[in-house]
Amino acid sequence: DAKTTQPPSMDCAEGRAANLPCNHSTISGNEYVYWYRQIHSQGPQYIIHGLKNNETNEMASLIITEDRKSSTLILPHATLRDTAVYYCIVRLMIKAAGNKLTFGGGTRVLVKP
Amino acid sequence: NAGVMQNPRHLVRRRGQEARLRCSPMKGHSHVYWYRQLPEEGLKFMVYLQKENIIDESGMPKERFSAEFPKEGPSILRIQQVVRGDSAAYFCASSPRRLQQERYGNTIYFGEGSWLTVV
């Protein structure tokens, strides 16, 4: 699976949009971009994923650049409950052995009042 | 995280005892994954199983650790002769069979974890 690069930490003001960048310059055509987050002492929570088109759901939006080498997760209105470590993961989908997720260090997001 | 059930949530074992962690996947899911998170560290993949088959165990320690996912019942992660270094959070996750993939892929959902403390 391609590796990802994320900033180790970032702060965000409550009520403002949080834009979390991720670089995946070696991504292949068969790899999806997944985002998860882990709130302290909880299991990882799925947020969103995409292949090449931008995606939006009730939690967030995912913007993938045209060359697919980077993406941005957008939390439109951050709340204190969004404080967590956010993981950007690229995942190979074409074979069973590639189904697993490989977590990096993620971005520790602190939402401040 | 809804649907993936892990138990026990917290387990205390003395050094040398055995620990058994159970995981029931989401309804309709037949793939199970186990991850370990040591204190203040990241999530590390351990093993990936389908019913009655181990697909990928590249992250499993060579000794004392084993995993199974029988035809009936939950997946079990078994740690024999536990040592203090086994103290960690163990997360189980599940995903659908490939023939039942969701629209864009095979999303993996995690449980809330089992916290093992070895004293």
Q: Rounded to a whole number, what is the distance in Å from the CA of B60 to chain A's nearest CA?
A: 14
At position A5, the amino acid (one-letter code) is T
- Give me the pLDDT at residue A96, please: 53
Tens-place pLDDT, residues B61-78: 999 999 999 999 999 999
At B117, list the tokens.
């403390």
Mean per-residue pLDDT over chain B, rounded: 91
**Alpha carbons B63 and B49: distance in angstroms, whole number:** 18
| Beta-strand pair B114-118/B10-13 | parallel
- Give me the pLDDT at residue B107, please: 86
Interface check A8 vs B, CB under 8 A = no
Low-confidence spans in chain A with pLDDT less than 70: 1-2, 94-98
Q: Residue B106 and residue A105: Cβ atoms within 8 Å?
A: no
Give mean pLDDT, residues B6-28.
96
Q: Rounded to a whole number, what is the distance in Å from the CA of B23 to chain A's nearest CA?
A: 13
| Chain B residues closer than 8 Å to A102 by CB | 45
Of the candidates A42, A46, A102, which has its C-beta nearest B45's C-beta? A102
| Beta-strand pair B65-68/B53-56 | unpaired
pLDDT at B6 > cutoff 90: yes
